Structure 1
Amino acid sequence: MRELVSEPDSPALPSVTTEAVDPVPGAGAPHLPQQPDLVQLLSPEGERLEHPDYSIDVSAEELRGLYRDLVLVRRWDVEATALQRQGELGIWASLLGQEAAQIGAGRAMADGDTAFPTYREHGVAWTRGVDPLHVISLFRGVDNGGWDPVATGFNLYTVVIGAQTLHATGYAMGLQRDGAESAALAFLGDGATSQGEVNEAMIWAASFSAPVVFFCQNNQYAISVPLERQSRVPLYQRAAGFGFPGVRVDGNDVLAVLAVTRAALAAAREGQGPTFIEAFTYRMGAHTTSDDPTRYRLASELEEWKLRDPIARVKAYLSRTGVADAAFFDAVEAEGDELAKRIRSGTVDMADPPGTAMFDRVYAEQTPHLAAQQAEFEAYQASFEGAGH
């Protein structure tokens, strides 16, 4: 499980260097040399590869399902970005380019597993049966997320960077003490690995051999800071310092992500403790819709990564092997159109909640202190009635 290889005939993926590199002034990170330690099962050209430690059998139906997931999640993301640009959402964190990492990880989970996301795991939410509108309502400011974490096995979004790794580790320790044959899957970005909370979570997970998998989507930038400014070594190698395995997988290869995450979760459920997965991918869009990535990265870098598009390689494989035909691809595109319409109409039709709604779900039973705050807020609102406001 520890031997990691890449396909020599496939285009080299950029990687982390162990020496400081000065970026092009005012442009972004430089081109990075090849990193061979990469699990890959599907090349950027859509050629099926084998790996000695991560063999996976996927049926034709499952392959078509993975492609459908990728396409529909991207369509959701594109529509949400457009809605934000039109003033319908306060902000949006795009997953463009990271679909394979999220779909592969999400589909690797068993029914009893629980995911602990950041604020970008829309693809994982999709695999857990969360309605896209329940995610969008959070970014519209209607609520804090409209889905049931227990029913879906998908926790609420965490905006505080890295905090969800502590939640996941604590939850995993609870599973361990309950004797449950389940695991927690904690999502984080490359920037979060610099946070104290993440390191504390990994110390606890290692110390108690907790059934948790840390899934890092290394999309190359912590907002505007390139990876080589964050770490002297590839991120997956940090796991050794905490005492558990680390593996780097091609995050644009949905099959490789599925295989690696499935193996890590199985090991966690079997009592082998945590694993750190570094899904090596790229953020094709902005960090959020408030960000301008042209200020810190080169256009040529973006064009290079477009050649590794996670959807294109699956489509190429399906077409080459005859697993899917033009009618299938057309049907998925049509389904995407319908999804986009539902997202748009559902978003625009969302009613604004009353101001007092923020007091409703703070505690199971409202405290006297919170009740006093609500009364003060209601009196403040009432003071504007009839004043022409």
Structure 2
Amino acid sequence: MAIPRVSAYTSAAKAGAGPPDVETTETTAFCQCCQVACHRFRPTKPCSFCHARVCQFCSCGTEPHVLCKSCQPQVRGAQPAFSFRQLLWRFKMLPFGCHGEKWLFLVRKRQSFVVPTDLTGDEYQWLVHQLPRQRRLQGAHLEQKRTLDRDVDRTFQQLQIRMANAKRANFLAKSQYSSSEFMTWKSNTHQLLSVFLMLKPQIGYCQGMTSVAAVLVQESKMNSEIAFRLFLALSEKYRLDDVYRPDMKDVNLRYFQLDEALRLHLPRLHAHLSDRDIHPSTYASCWILTLFTECRLFPHRYVVAFLDLFFEFGWKVFFQTCLAIFSIIETPLLRQSTPGEIFAYLSKVTWFHRHKSDSDLDRFFATARAVNISSSFLDVLQGEYSTEASMSMNEYD
């Protein structure tokens, strides 16, 4: 979807105001094209068409005939896959501004047969401006929108309670976010999910999306555009589309893969749970749908560390993390004799909240990464699951 760029000069000309006064225009410390900080050895120059302040690497010509990359028709359709800032990230010449930027870099590095929807900033803003038209929705789409509104309200009410409890428990003078920052976080999360619902009505809204989107917005420093790109990448490159779609096609596949991985690596615990009819479908749905972002098993630092690995390595990290969790709580679980006791213990695991130091976190994820689960192993299990599913469908027919 190509959205034409509307420059500040063009908008002003249409309004009859003429070009803006360059002397009164506020200069920026960053190039508005590559977003790299500028200084006396990397000065910015104003584009003669859109008046954006750009560096020498993002422009051509000399003043007063400077053109930025976005205003050069001959190169507009041939932009590289990696921006200059991403190139600096690749060679570790520029630090990441937030976890969201790091995750976006890992997404762009990751090879996939699925071509992602790579929206530009203008296209994302265009989608945002279309949101008021969604008030005319009817039928199933209207019901999904109402469910989205309810879930966002419920999720952020729970977050507010947790933050208040953390403030009291840690004797903090003030909360992590002010009321205005908290409302910005909530509105950006709601905006992200609304744009996704409008862009992919065939997927729709599913419970679990809100907590994932909230973490992405939070770790992108409230930048809803970066968070939306990450959510879209999770949907397309990491196959969350098939988890969130109405038939939840991949949820049962993930249950099967987790059950087989548990049987292979922790056979005693697997037999203990299977004898009591406790399968992944009874305890792992929250883990799969929210990628550990909503379940109270992990504190926030563990969630961020998990997403660091998930964006880099994909679903195998999810199963490695699950097995690392079970390896920690295997002995207490084996002491529980009834399904009720097992579920009660799983809902109140406090090990991760008691071990929040950097050394504990590094040790846990080092243990997880040492679990022998590869992407090829998951592909084999996916083939077995597809074969069993087709055979069961034939028997049903």
**Structure of higher RCO (CA pairs closer than 8 Å, 6+ residues apart):** 1
Bigger Rg, structure 1 or 2: 2
Is TM > 0.5 for Structure 1 vs Structure 2? no
TM-score (norm 2): 0.23
